[in-house]
Structure 1
Amino acid sequence: MAGTNSKVASSESAGGPLPPLSAGDLRTYNRMSDQMDAFHNHFRMTWNQLWDACDSSAKRPGGLSGRQMIMMGLQFCSQLDFHHSIEEQHIFPVLAKKMPEFRKELDLLKQHKQIHAGLEKLESYLEKCRSGEEDMRREEVKRLMEGFGGVLWKHLDEEVQTLKADNMCKYWSLDEMRKLPM
């Protein structure tokens, strides 16, 4: 399959379509996308649970008590911040060597900054609620989530799409793909 890698590189640089990949090669090239999507699905699921719990008209919205909602929100903020830290320190710098999408001045990292700003506000509010400094108001949690929800959901989708085989094979050989972090 070494010949396929050189064909991929030369075909793409010539502007032509990429050759079809075998099922095994497709799995190799999609590995990072598939793994990232699994992480992102966890964040999507937790976001949706928190969002549903913001419905202040229900007796116990989303099945969560106020305390459970605070703890779930804080865990969401912490896990997403940790996820972004790993990406920025260990994954994006490697990908940025060949892929412009992962360079600091472009969208994916700008999105991280916007998401982090929203996470900080949500986390600060939830910490005040946990300590008793403020009463937890579901409508305030929803307002804070709305502040960065659009960019978060866009980012979760775009990052996974950028790591899909049709893009990865433009930049990386199969052997390189096997050695990439994740």
Structure 2
Amino acid sequence: MADAAPEDAQAGAPADCPKPETSKEQLTEPTLPKLSPSEFRQYNHMAENMDYFHNHFRSTWNTLFGACARGSRPAGMSIRQFIAMGHQFCRHLTMHHTIEERRIFPVLAKRMPAFQKELELLTQHKQIHEGVEKMEEYLDECVGGERELRLAELKTIMEGFGEVLWQHLDAEVEELGADNMRKYWTIEEMKRMPM
């Protein structure tokens, strides 16, 4: 008598038969109901506020980095004004991240993994601030006369943290978007958010 083909214990099919594939729909999260325009605004308000601040950082970065890449300051901007803009960028970004880490992230971290300690967004803060500290130190030395401002040197410093900064600015807004926030919070809870 010939041996029977071994059976697949889970599906009850012979081992050499192909198993049915799991569809992408079965692996994704359940579809949530469509939000009304009012609900969308309420769920999306943190993302909009964050993007407002982030657009300021993006604009200032583009002015500073663009000047470094061209090798010349913006027309009509003195060295002193350019350095002051760099200092302002560093200080405002540091203040922004400090507020996030002390007031906003602890609330969001109660339910949202992306805002918990040592995960991507906070790790990005640390990486960004290593670069911000180098930039601020360089600009301090320029103001103090210890070194001359060289745009190529400043560009190198900015390149050291630029990629992670831009990724972070986008990722944070995405995490705070309506489609993500509604997974974790009710509209009533959104009204009480610290932002």
TM-score normalised to the size of structure 1? 0.89
Structure whose CA Rg is larger? 2
CA deviation digits over 1:31-75, x for unaligned, max 9? Answer: 0000000000000000001012214544xx322322211110001
Indicate conservation of the 8 Å contact 2:71/2:151, yes or no: no
Matched residue, 2:150:
137
SS in structure 2 at match of 1:73:
helix
Change (3 A) 1:118 1:51: same
- Aligned match for 2:56, one of 42, 54, 61: 42
* Pairing 1:28-177 to 2, within 5 Å after superposition: 28-55=42-69, 57-58=71-72, 61-63=73-75, 64-177=77-190
Structure 1 letter corresponding to 2:49: Q
Indicate conservation of the 8 Å contact 2:71/2:152, yes or no: no
Change (3 A) 1:57 1:165: closer
Instruction: Pick the structure with more helix per residue.
Output: 1
SS in structure 1 at match of 2:118:
coil
Query: Structure 2: which 5+ residue stretches go unaligned?
Result: 1-27
Structure 1 letter corresponding to 2:170: D
Cα separation, 1, equivalents of 2:114 and 2:102: 15
Change (3 A) 1:175 1:65: same
CA deviation digits over 1:103-127, x for unaligned, max 9? Answer: 0121000000000000000000000
Q: CA deviation at 1:89?
A: 0.2
Higher relative contact order, structure no. (Cα contacts within 8 Å, ≥ 6 residues apart) = 1
In the alignment, structure 1 residue 17 sits paired with structure 2 residue 31: yes
Matched residue, 1:9:
none
SS in structure 1 at match of 2:148:
coil
Q: How many residues align?
A: 167
Query: Structure 1: which 5+ residue stretches go unaligned?
Result: 1-13
